[in-house]
Amino acid sequence: MVMQLEQVVPFGRSLDEYVKMFNLTDADLQKSILSVADGPASFNAEGTRQGYRIKSIDPLYIFTSAQIRDRFNQVVDNVIAQIERTPDDWVWKYHKSPDGLRKNREQVTQLFCADFELGKDEGRYEVGELPKLKYQDGEFDLGLSSHFLFLYSDHFDENFHLESIREMLRVCKEVRIFPLLTLMLQRSPHLQSIVEQLEKQGYRCEIHQVGYELQRGGNEMLRIH
Ligand SMILES: C[S@@+](CC[C@H](N)C(=O)[O-])C[C@H]1O[C@@H](n2cnc3c(N)ncnc32)[C@H](O)[C@@H]1O
């Protein structure tokens, strides 16, 4: 798929949000991590500074940091205005307010953009997209998907999800996915069937409550190993 920048809303999350969304312990953060659909998150930039080993992949990485920053600046007012128009859909425990969320996303974009070109040279950011990954079997300890799988269940069908998760499990010893809600704040219609099929294959699937909730009701993470 060739990505069109004018269709992208490059909003990314911070290392602290990743830690909370995925219940990442200090031991987890010492593992080799593949973060798929990582977009303009600052997880890699901040984590690398702490000495963590994170590879991020996303089709967005065909663009430059300047293009991604410009696109963020074009859409941020509109995204925050949409959020302000739907107050009941959001929980403000973490970001406190739409303005707090905006400040967070601006800081994340700045950290990501400042790190992106160097990180590309170092192989920490690679262009790639599910459902296929170019990595070896078991190459990573932990695979993460934040705000892509399940969230876009209306755009990607069950087969895409199953194929993508199996591919992540091929290259990662363990996979965690957050959130389990769709954009309409419903539990993904694909979740139950996917869990059943993975369990039949011998994987263990656990749904964990996490201490992060922005989308109302979106405080669950799927752990597969
Ligand atoms: C909502 S963003 C999430 C960014 C980041 N993970 C975070 O939580 O801050 C969704 C990301 O999915 C990426 N994406 C779209 N199609 C994809 C695919 N087939 N495989 C992997 N990533 C994809 C988009 O480019 C975008 O960066």
**Which tens digits make up the pLDDT trace of 80-92?**
999 999 989 999 9
- pLDDT tens-digit profile of 153-168? 999 999 999 999 999 9
Helical spans, DSSP H, in the chain: 15-21, 26-29, 43-49, 65-85, 98-121, 158-171, 191-200
Preceding peptide of 40 cis, ω within 30° = no
CATH code for position 171: 3.40.50.150
- Across the range 20-32, mean pLDDT stands at 98
Predicted local distance difference test score (pLDDT) of residue 1: 59
Predicted local distance difference test score (pLDDT) of residue 5: 75
Predicted local distance difference test score (pLDDT) of residue 37: 97
- pLDDT tens-digit profile of 175-192? 999 999 999 999 999 999
Q: What is the mean pLDDT of the chain?
A: 96
Predicted local distance difference test score (pLDDT) of residue 131: 98
Predicted local distance difference test score (pLDDT) of residue 2: 62
- What's the Cα-to-Cα distance from 165 to each of 6, 84, 109, 197, rounded to whole Å? 28, 34, 27, 11
Range of the domain at 88: 5-224
- Across the range 40-65, mean pLDDT stands at 97
Q: Is 60 in the pocket of ligand 1 (CB under 6 A)?
A: yes
Predicted local distance difference test score (pLDDT) of residue 7: 77
Which pLDDT band, with edges at 50, 70 and 90, does 111 fall under?
A: very high
Total structural domains within the chain? 1
Ligand 1: centre distance to CA 4 (Å): 13
Closest-lying ligand 1 atom to the alpha carbon of residue 35: 6
- pLDDT tens-digit profile of 118-147? 999 999 999 999 999 999 999 999 999 999
**Percent of the chain predicted with pLDDT > 70:** 99
Closest-lying ligand 1 atom to the alpha carbon of residue 12: 9
Ligand 1: centre distance to CA 69 (Å): 16
Among protein residues, the one whose CA lies closest to atom 25 of ligand 1: 60
Predicted local distance difference test score (pLDDT) of residue 10: 85
Cβ 71 vs Cβ 8: under 8 Å: yes
Query: CA-to-CA distance for 201 and 204, rounded, in angstroms?
Result: 9
- Across the range 88-97, mean pLDDT stands at 95
Residue to substitute in 60, 61, 94, 148 for testing ligand 1 pocket (most ligand atoms within 8 angstroms of CB): 148
Closest-lying ligand 1 atom to the alpha carbon of residue 156: 19
Among protein residues, the one whose CA lies closest to atom 20 of ligand 1: 129
